[in-house]
Chains A and B, each alone.
Chain A
């Protein structure tokens, strides 16, 4: 949402909600997910979305559709089956050489055509570089509502509309947005905001082939090359199981090495607050929060981080949060499960040593001893 010119008042929304749905719009049925994939695999956000789509569709009494498209890669068939295993009732499968490698033009065309043909009421995409690029184009072409970067999806009882909740006003408030008189209702959701559903190979679903008329000659934009990020397949922060994050409280760039050592000992990754990124202590790719990444690791250690709301929205659904802060009143202790009030510069190296000792002990003594304790 762009908030240009101020927002409509809440009353307005409620008033519009009462109006009966245009019969043309009532034809739209089904909850769809665009499955983001390449030859290396499917982006996990697509499975997370299928989990949410399943719940929404069950509430609406409708089916879940998945759009799976690409060039002639071998993996495509198995991605279609995976989509079923993660909750799709029907997979719309399109194979065309022009669809090898993402480009806006052919993918936007495909998705618009499929929507016009099958009329889903809800269309969900990941809030990734691909999903945002594609969703915006499709929503504009179809002239419908798109809510970006949602943190929660539900069905509004009164209107049967998708209630898409996202942070607003700099993350200090949440805002639920509805698309009432337009279909499909579109939303993007960030990776790791929703839980990943269980894969069920026993589920059955239909895989339906969809043709599209595309020609490479008509494509204005050409994909010349793909340059993988330096450092090979660098771990994506949003998929890390352990994150050791630091903020302004670490005081100097050099102290970030304390985080790196602990992260290495734990087999995890280093994260940071925007304040640390802005201080130039760490790469912007490591920023966690509203304008950075959303993460959901098994263990999140926050050192020298105050716990501003914009940071918390990016990490609060982590399984276990541990905070180290000199200030006992720091808001980070409101989201943390365990806390320790003290100087991170002293405590971090101690923790690293403890963890390393643990690793050695576990290896030499054998795991049974520890798992039974």
Chain B
């Protein structure tokens, strides 16, 4: 049995923060949080939820607390305004190092991506900055052994799963749909509303170099924002009478065939035999 007191689990939970937009916990981060909570259920340890964003982001952290997180830190400073993913990962990595001063950090969890920032860049960036092993798109953690500091994960790829073995500390980005989320219990919800959330400005987060954060620390700049152009013409709609559905569908299929004649060729090769019985009389 591992000595549970030694285990420190530390999920980074975060969400896109824009002024005026109510802060909700990024749904992808709920999966990350659940993964961390399951490890805590199994092996004990402490979970610190960390979020960089404006003061409203407290709501997301309260939610994390109600689900069983031990401690929550909001990293918030005007100097972070305009941060792109590179600057965000710098600030978060710095804050995680601060947490590490209080207690060693064995694992950092992030979501696969944020719901509307949607880049999936922050987690891997934090890993690089902290020099941690990066395990991205993880869908299962079959082995975690604190004594030997070793971990085995299944990493999702388009073609199949990679089984990777690594050493702590590492940063895991969690694939969505890995496990059912949990609901907060009433006592936990009450505790969550009472528990103070620590707010760190950039100094508290250990950031001295102002050129690494905010606009200055962001290599990417927004050139322009515009609405996607619409195609000029609308669809050509097949007109049909109530009881003439069959005819309308035949007409539609004629049109499809005329536009994509090679489809018909393929069909006769692949499907003809299988559906030989289903001849439709016309």
Check if A and B associate: yes
Given contacts A8-B215, A228-B160, A298-B260, contact A169 B227 (CB under 8 A): no
CA distance A242 to B89 in the complex (A): 40
Q: B235 to A333, Cβ gap below 8 A?
A: yes
Q: B220 to A179, Cβ gap below 8 A?
A: yes
Q: A146 to B86, Cβ gap below 8 A?
A: yes
Per-residue CB contact flags for chain A residues 149-177 toward chain B (1 = under 8 Å, else 0) read: 10000001000000100011111111111
| Identity of the chain A residue whose Cβ is nearest the Cβ of B224 in the assembled complex | A176
CA distance A337 to B176 in the complex (A): 34
> Which one of B4-12, B37-45, B243-251 is at the interface?
B243-251
Pick from B128, B161, B227, B278: contact of A226, CB under 8 Å: B161
> Which residues on the A side are within 8 Å of B177 (C-beta)?
284
CA distance A82 to B37 in the complex (A): 47
Q: Does B180 contact A (CB under 8 A)?
A: no
Q: Does A253 contact B (CB under 8 A)?
A: no
Q: Does B238 contact A (CB under 8 A)?
A: yes
Q: B249 to A347, Cβ gap below 8 A?
A: yes
Q: A224 to B163, Cβ gap below 8 A?
A: yes
In the assembled complex, the CB of B14 is this many whole angstroms from the nearest CB of chain A, namely 8
Interface positions, chain A 292-307, Cβ under 8 Å from B, are 298-299
> Which residues on the A side are within 8 Å of B223 (C-beta)?
10, 13, 17, 156, 163, 175-178
Q: Does A357 contact B (CB under 8 A)?
A: yes
Q: A360 to B279, Cβ gap below 8 A?
A: yes
CA distance A334 to B226 in the complex (A): 19
Q: Does B181 contact A (CB under 8 A)?
A: no
Question: Would you call the interface of chain A mostly helix, strand, loop, or mixed?
Answer: mixed
CA distance A173 to B116 in the complex (A): 11
Given contacts A146-B85, A363-B272, A367-B264, contact A228 B159 (CB under 8 A): yes
Per-residue CB contact flags for chain A residues 241-264 toward chain B (1 = under 8 Å, else 0) read: 110000000000000000000001
CA distance A165 to B27 in the complex (A): 25
Q: Does B222 contact A (CB under 8 A)?
A: yes
CA distance A267 to B184 in the complex (A): 46
Given contacts A8-B82, A148-B121, contact A140 B226 (CB under 8 A): no
Given contacts A143-B219, A339-B237, contact A6 B163 (CB under 8 A): no
Q: Does B120 contact A (CB under 8 A)?
A: yes
CA distance A363 to B275 in the complex (A): 11
Q: Count residues of chain A with CB under 8 A from any CB of chain B.
A: 118
> Which one of A53-61, A88-96, A206-214, A319-327 is at the interface?
A319-327
Per-residue CB contact flags for chain A residues 219-235 toward chain B (1 = under 8 Å, else 0) read: 01111111111000000
Pick from B124, B214, B219: contact of A145, CB under 8 Å: B219
Q: Does B1 contact A (CB under 8 A)?
A: no
Q: B252 to A2, Cβ gap below 8 A?
A: no
In the assembled complex, the CB of A36 is this many whole angstroms from the nearest CB of chain B, namely 10
Q: Does B54 contact A (CB under 8 A)?
A: yes
In the assembled complex, the CB of A285 is this many whole angstroms from the nearest CB of chain B, namely 9
CA distance A149 to B121 in the complex (A): 11
Q: Does A336 contact B (CB under 8 A)?
A: yes
> Which residues on the A side are within 8 Å of B224 (C-beta)?
10, 13, 175-176
CA distance A371 to B268 in the complex (A): 12
Query: For B17, B214, B268, which residue has the most chain A Cβ atoms within 10 angstroms?
Result: B268
CA distance A133 to B261 in the complex (A): 40
Q: B238 to A338, Cβ gap below 8 A?
A: yes
CA distance A180 to B221 in the complex (A): 8
In the assembled complex, the CB of B201 is this many whole angstroms from the nearest CB of chain A, namely 13
Q: A2 to B263, Cβ gap below 8 A?
A: no
Per-residue CB contact flags for chain B residues 244-282 toward chain A (1 = under 8 Å, else 0) read: 011011101101110111111111101111011011101
> Which residues on the B side are within 8 Å of A241 (C-beta)?
263, 266
Q: Does B135 contact A (CB under 8 A)?
A: yes
> Which residues on the B side are within 8 Å of A229 (C-beta)?
159-161
| Identity of the chain B residue whose Cβ is nearest the Cβ of A183 in the assembled complex | B219
CA distance A34 to B226 in the complex (A): 29
In the assembled complex, the CB of B27 is this many whole angstroms from the nearest CB of chain A, namely 10
| Identity of the chain A residue whose Cβ is nearest the Cβ of B82 in the assembled complex | A8
Per-residue CB contact flags for chain B residues 62-76 toward chain A (1 = under 8 Å, else 0) read: 000000000000000
Please report A residues at the B interface, Cβ cutoff 8 Å: 1-8, 10, 12-13, 16-17, 38, 40, 43, 101-105, 108, 128-130, 132-133, 135-137, 139-141, 143-149, 156, 163, 167-182, 220-229, 236, 241-242, 264-267, 284, 290-291, 298-299, 309, 313, 316, 319-323, 328, 333-342, 346-347, 350-351, 353-364, 367, 370-371
Please report B residues at the A interface, Cβ cutoff 8 Å: 16-19, 52-54, 78, 80-86, 88-89, 114-125, 127-129, 133-137, 152, 154-167, 176-177, 214-215, 218-228, 230-231, 234-238, 240, 245-246, 248-250, 252-253, 255-257, 259-268, 270-273, 275-276, 278-280, 282
12 pairs, CB–CB < 8 Å, chain A vs chain B = A3-B117, A6-B81, A104-B134, A171-B116, A224-B163, A241-B263, A299-B256, A319-B260, A334-B235, A342-B240, A356-B280, A371-B264
